[in-house]
């Protein structure tokens, strides 16, 4: 069987997208998704999106992280889907997308900007809890919230050179976030209504070039701590995103680019694939 993928990316957060809207949506095993997303042995991506028919929206999706786990929502992938569906099926219209977190809406704002809501159409009320986590000899103030998926947000003085992977791994492994885990988002305050932010993503187990829900979580925590109001510009490793609240409906919005990378057709899947790790990242054998 052959599978045709579109590779799309938003600020470097990249996805393999399959159009199964006409009823031929495939079902993938977890190992097959991990194989497809592996950057050494497969095609390489941060996630896989399967588009399907929906009874409640213009389109529905199944979204998989690169390790094959399912995620409720992904802001950058949603912008990619909105662009594709709008251009192919609904030119000039708002697109509704059924996700595990509810029905989201999005639209093409301009050639370089796609806007999508990060939660169903209702007034957004920012809720978070504040915690102090002891991670070995280090102590961090952590703000826990959900912008479609869970995030633990940490403010740091300087992001450049900060041990994102080490601290992100420790936070993800903390008992507070088990068994589902969490994304870990770090942000740095700059000047005015702009911050730097990056996310150590659950299901990817690495820092990604961009995380839309993470950018939103960081922007909202920043607004709470420093008494700012949206819109906030968030500089992520792969570009810039804007986090805002719509002036009328008060829906949480994410704006930024969504671009095509390539189309590809393959006829092979490795269902038994297991992610290979460099020796430094492997746990020593028990004796």
Q: DSSP state, 70?
A: B
Catalytic residue among 11, 80, 205, 211: 211
37 carries an active-site annotation: no
The SS3 assignment for 78 reads helix
For residues 160 and 224, what is the distance between their CA atoms, to the nearest angstrom? Answer: 24
**Letter string b/e over residues 207-245, b meaning 16 or more CB atoms within 10 A of that residue's CB:** bbbbbbbbbbbbbbbbbeeeebebebbbbbbbbebbbbb
Given 11, 74, 80, 205, the catalytic residue: 74
Q: Where are the alpha helices (DSSP H) in the chain?
A: 30-37, 75-88, 164-172, 212-226
Contacts for 177 with CB less than 8 Å, ≥ 6 apart: 150, 152, 171
For residues 214 and 25, give the distance between their C-alpha atoms in angstroms, rounded to a whole number: 29
Angle at which helix 75-88 crosses helix 212-226, to 10 degrees, equals 120
Distance between CA atoms of residues 222 and 241, nearest Å: 15
- Alpha carbons 211 and 95: distance in angstroms, whole number: 21
Structure tokens at 283: 């746990």
Phi, psi dihedrals of residue 178, rounded to the nearest 5°: -90, 150
**Residues identified as active-site:** 74, 211
């Amino acid at each position: 069987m052959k599978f045709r993928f579109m590779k799309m990316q938003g600020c470097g957060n990249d996805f393999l997208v399959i159009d199964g809207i006409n009823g031929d949506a495939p079902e993938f095993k977890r190992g097959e998704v991990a194989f497809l997303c592996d950057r050494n042995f497969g095609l390489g991506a941060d996630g896989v999106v399967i588009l399907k028919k929906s009874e409640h929206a213009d389109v529905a999706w199944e979204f998989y992280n690169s390790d094959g786990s399912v995620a409720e929502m992904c802001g950058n992938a949603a912008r990619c889907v909105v662009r594709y569906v709008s251009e192919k099926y609904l030119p000039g219209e708002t697109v509704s997308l059924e996700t595990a977190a509810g029905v989201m809406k999005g639209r093409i704002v301009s050639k370089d900007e796609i806007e999508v809501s990060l939660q169903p159409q209702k007034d957004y009320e920012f809720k978070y809890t504040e915690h102090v986590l002891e991670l070995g000899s280090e102590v961090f103030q952590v703000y826990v919230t959900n912008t479609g998926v869970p995030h633990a947000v940490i403010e740091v003085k300087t992001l450049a050179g900060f041990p994102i992977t080490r601290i992100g791994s420790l936070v993800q492994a903390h008992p507070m976030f088990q068994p589902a885990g969490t994304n870990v988002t770090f942000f740095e305050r700059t000047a005015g209504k702009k911050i730097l932010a990056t996310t150590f993503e659950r299901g990817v187990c690495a820092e990604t070039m961009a995380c839309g829900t993470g950018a939103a979580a960081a922007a909202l925590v920043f607004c709470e701590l420093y008494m700012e109001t949206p819109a906030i510009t968030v500089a992520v490793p792969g570009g810039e995103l804007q986090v805002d609240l719509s002036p009328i409906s008060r829906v949480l919005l994410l704006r930024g680019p969504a671009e095509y990378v390539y189309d590809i057709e393959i006829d092979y899947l490795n269902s038994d694939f297991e992610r290979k790790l460099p020796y430094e990242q492997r746990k020593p054998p028990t004796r």
